[in-house]
């Protein structure tokens, strides 16, 4: 916890930096907090960075768009403290101009660690999703198909969290997924499987309806996704999956055989 004295000093130093340093494109914002005495695992506590961003953001609020190079420099050049500051700035300013900031955030996520991507999704987007579901649900769809694996995985976790918070979005998500199955890239299969498994735990009937709809399909990727989502016994699934095991397509047959073994094992 930051003491009152240090809050006052950090606020004063942040305002001095904003007035004297930032206009000269001096992006070494660490001069604000370098003298702070406490460290957590050798690092400045996150609450110190958050306080500094709060002070700066409050003062530059109406001119926030003028400081984009500063935010980008924080992310690119200032290590973990800079990344945290960037995320805090985006959490405050993204709602003010989403068209401007979304490409900046997405560019950052394309090379970020899984941890930092998760922090962005949690702090920038999820609070907005809780207030207004549909726009931020659709925003996540392209991330599920990113060529960058850490983004795909974190977006999958993020979407599952969305589903748990708002189960009523399940039909919308399933419809989107089904529309992509025919031509989605192969590396997207695990994403779809993970989401179907999560949905099954919340609304098993919704997933069963998908099996009923696709029970005669011979598309290998669709069958691979559906079979991959099976983790428990269901008598209705047995004849559907058994039928797929007789396919002449090697990929389809392999997925179905694996799922059929799971069904038999869970029944025993």
- CA dist 240 and 260 (Å) reads 9
Q: What residues contact residue 63 under an 8 Å CB cut-off, 6+ apart?
A: none
pLDDT at 182 > cutoff 90: no
Mean pLDDT of the chain: 95
Cβ atoms 209, 198 nearer than 8 A: no
pLDDT digits (tens, 9 = 90+) for 198-250: 999 999 999 999 999 999 999 999 999 999 999 999 999 999 999 999 999 99
Report angle CA 45, 111, 145 to the nearest 5 degrees. Answer: 120
Residue with tokens 């506590």: 45
**Sequence spans of domains, the chain:** 1-109
- CA dist 123 and 100 (Å) reads 18
Cβ atoms 128, 167 nearer than 8 A: no
- CA dist 224 and 216 (Å) reads 14
Residues paired with 43 in a beta bridge: 40
Residue with tokens 């800079």: 82
Write phi, then psi, for 40 (nearest 5 degrees): -120, 115
- At 181, the pLDDT band (50, 70, 90 cuts) reads confident
Q: Collapsing DSSP states into helix, strand and coil, what is residue 191? A: helix
């Amino acid at each position: 916890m930051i003491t009152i004295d240090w809050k006052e000093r950090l606020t004063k130093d942040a305002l001095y930096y904003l007035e004297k340093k930032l206009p000269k494109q001096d992006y070494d914002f660490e001069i604000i907090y370098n003298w702070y005495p406490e460290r957590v695992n050798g690092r400045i506590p996150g609450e110190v960075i958050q306080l500094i961003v709060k002070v700066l953001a409050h003062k530059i609020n109406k001119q926030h768009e003028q400081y984009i190079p500063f935010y980008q420099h924080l992310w690119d050049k200032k290590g973990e403290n800079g990344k945290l500051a960037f995320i805090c700035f985006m959490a405050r300013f993204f709602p003010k101009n989403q068209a401007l900031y979304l490409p900046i955030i997405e560019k950052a996520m394309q090379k970020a660690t899984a941890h930092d991507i998760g922090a962005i999704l949690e702090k920038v987007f999820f609070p907005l999703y809780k207030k207004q579901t549909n726009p931020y649900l659709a925003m996540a769809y392209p991330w599920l198909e990113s060529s960058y694996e850490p983004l795909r995985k974190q977006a999958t976790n993020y979407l599952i969290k969305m589903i748990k918070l708002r189960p009523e979005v399940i039909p919308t998500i399933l419809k989107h997924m089904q529309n992509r199955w025919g031509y989605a890239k192969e590396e997207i299969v695990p994403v779809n499987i993970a989401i179907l498994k999560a949905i099954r735990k919340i609304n098993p009937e919704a997933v069963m309806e998908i099996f009923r709809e696709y029970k005669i399909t011979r598309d290998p990727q669709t069958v691979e996704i559906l079979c991959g989502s099976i983790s428990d016994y269901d008598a209705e699934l047995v004849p559907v999956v058994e039928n797929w095991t007789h396919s002449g397509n090697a990929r389809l047959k392999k997925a179905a055989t694996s799922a059929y073994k799971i069904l038999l094992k869970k029944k025993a």
